[in-house]
Amino acid sequence: MTAVHVRVLAGGEHYAIPVDGVLEIADRGDVSEIPGAPPEILGVRNLRGQVIPVIDLAKGLGLQSSSERERIVVVEDSGRLAGFAVDGVVDVGSLGEVTEELDSQYLRGALLSDGALVGVIDIAALFARIAPSGDSFAVPVEA
């Protein structure tokens, strides 16, 4: 795993997504709702001809957010692809080592960066929570 992360705001808090799981950062664009989908799944979006699910990262982490999700961070893990809707992207760069252990199974830990506590997202664990084995919310990555 690389020390480079995409740092985002979700639910008013700082999080980091390891860049080795990030395919791109895009505008939120038009998201079509899916009737009956869990609340953390905002819907699907056509991104250059590929339909991807869009997940509200704040809700996926159990947070409330009153702000509009402006960007999506397109992530891939084990052949599953989705866009994490975030309040905004802070930066892309190196972060130090995780210094704080957390009780959340969706975070690898946390660290202080630029005076803010930053939780490091575990993409695989978050995908597993939103789409437990046997369920599929994400379309396969095309080879």
CB 61, CB 106: distance < 8 Å: yes
Q: What angle do CA 19, 20, 21 make, to 5 degrees?
A: 85
Sign, CA dihedral 76-77-79-84, equals negative
**H-type alpha helices, the chain:** 57-60, 123-130
User: What CATH number is given to the structural domain containing 93?
Assistant: 2.40.50.180
Per-residue pLDDT of the chain (143 residues; tens, 9 = 90+): 458 999 999 988 999 999 999 999 999 889 999 998 888 899 999 988 889 999 999 998 888 876 778 899 999 988 889 999 999 999 999 988 888 888 888 999 999 888 889 999 999 998 887 765 545 554 444 43
The total number of structural domains in the chain stands at 1
Q: Does a structural domain hold residue 39? A: yes
pTM: 0.85
